[in-house]
Structure 1
């Protein structure tokens, strides 16, 4: 997860990365008790946290047979769970943007993040700048936005202009999923910012998890699948990739203005 600082050349301005463990789970922290990511030690390429699993809901809106030919991008590496899942499980071309080099080192050392390759790139950079990078525009099918600093008080980037830049990254069938969380966050304000960028009929949302993470999905091109169509797709997603997609439909629906 990227930080508020914009000084990429000063390592002292970035929070220190720490690691903890509880039984079979390893956690990543940015100098505080707040969990910035996790991994099941014996299953390093599965997604452990419920809210992170929900950020995969874009799979409900594409042909499952087309997934491996698509391109994903994560803004904020965290413990690498989404990056690893897209690359290892979905076999996708995967690009991740992370501002803190310590996070990248920690993920490669403690969280089984594979080295860069032809289909995996972990780039050091500021997400606010990267989303304005024209060569990425129109190339991303699945964009996950999970940008928090060490205090995890509110999303670091959360404006209509930022979400408009995110929309520009997407292909016609592309989806963005965003984690909204924090004591200083405003869910309604964030959704309004996303709606301003994507349109009122392009937004879907989960009910918050028990820990308070609310996942919002926005489509570049709005679609209106029926519940039966979504259920059929969810069953495929669950069977192929082990995500609890059929349970998602109990708490996932279009976000009304």
Structure 2
């Protein structure tokens, strides 16, 4: 990771928000918010693939939901999840919520984010406003949350009210996946808030500079590992995602909780 921030491009430096910048190394373009912290990445040869392992893990809801109708990302990042879901789930509506217009602009220009259409909508707004809006409640099958600022000390939204709003947005059987990263105190604060709201909360093993992906269920699922491993094989074949590792991580988590 670079020790100094990359230079600003005035197209992606609208006042009032952190500027969006890029670096490139060995065929991978990375997004930054005017600092050295990586906010997302795209392999130039595979722009619609998910490059980073922890972002791949944000797709773990696929183990339980085969045919999503509504997928929402809170935090656009480099648009990896938004592009992947838009391309791979043609029957689903995909919505991305991003507060920083510089991030939206750079994703359109340099990360191959498609324009909005009947199935895709990228909205410039605060994620808290989105989840508290009753018109969004009860309709999201898969909610993917990755909300960090340029300092990346922890999620910018981590209150009980925020996670209650996330819960309320989910349809029956809906699942939230969220990335928890930053200072140690953030982990317990976020996990405690999620456990106070969701019916079941599990997390996968730490990857990629201490990122932990949490899976929160509106209603606790029935866990059958034989079924999950079979489903993981299908996910690997269809989407080229390492889903077997997710199931192994879930199994390890359950064993740890039992000890």
Question: Same-fold call, TM > 0.5?
Answer: yes
8 A Cα contact 2:140 2:171, kept in partner = yes
Once the two structures are superposed, residues 50-72 of structure 1 have per-residue CA deviations (whole angstroms, 9 ceiling, x without a partner) of 0000000000012x3x24xx110
Alignment of 1:138-177 (within 5 A): 138-177=138-177
Shift of 1:161: 1.5
- Distance in 1, Cα, partners of 2:183 & 2:202: 22
Give the match's secondary structure for 1:144. strand
2:100 maps to: 100
Q: Does 1:15 align with 2:13?
A: no
CA distance in 1, matches of 2:208, 2:34: 24
Select which of 206, 209, 225 maps to 1:208: 206
Whether the 8 Å contact between 2:148 and 2:154 is mirrored in structure 1 is yes
Alignment-derived partner of residue 47 in structure 1: 50
Match of 2:238 in 1: 240
Output aligned runs, 1:185-204, within 5 Å: 185-199=185-199, 202-204=200-202
Moved more, 144-153 or 247-256: 247-256
* Counterpart Cα distance in 1 of 2:27 and 2:248: 29
The alpha carbon displacement at 1:210 in A equals: 4.2
Return closer, same or farther for 1:139/1:157 CA change in 2, 3 Å cut-off.
same
Corresponding residue pairs, total: 242
SS at match of 2:222: coil
Gaps of 5+ in 2: 1-13
- Is 1:59 matched up with 2:73? no
Residues 128 and 157 in structure 1, CA contact (< 8 A), matched pair in contact too: yes
Task: Report Cα offsets for 1:137-187 as digits up to 9, x if no partner.
Answer: 111000011000000011101112110110000011110001000136531
TM-score (norm 1): 0.90
Instruction: Flag structure 1 segments of 5+ consecutive residues without an equivalent.
Output: 1-10
| Partner in structure 1 of residue 70 of structure 2 | 71
Paired with 2:46 and 2:40, the residues of 1 have a C-alpha distance of: 14
Is the 8 Å Cα contact of residues 153 and 185 (structure 1) preserved in structure 2? no
Please state if 1:109 is matched with 2:109. yes
Matches within 5 A, 1:221-232: 221-232=219-230
In 1, Cα distance between equivalents of 2:186 and 2:163? 16
Bigger relative CO (Cα 8 Å, ≥ 6 apart): 1
SS in 1 for 2:182: coil
* Counterpart secondary structure, 1:12: coil
Does the CA contact (< 8 Å) of 2:54 and 2:208 recur in 1? no
Q: Using the alignment, how far apart are the partners of 1:77 and 1:237 within structure 2?
A: 23
TM-score, normalized by length of structure 2?
A: 0.90
Q: What CA distance in whole angstroms lies between the structure 1 residues aligned with 2:257 and 2:15?
A: 43
Aligned-pair distance for 1:224? 2.1
1:31 maps to 2:34: yes
User: Is 1:153–1:184's contact at 8 Å kept on the other side of the alignment?
Assistant: no
Question: What stretches of structure 1 move > 2 A for 4+ residues in a row?
Answer: 183-186, 252-257
Alpha-carbon distance between aligned partners in 1 of 2:240 and 2:160, rounded to the nearest angstrom: 34
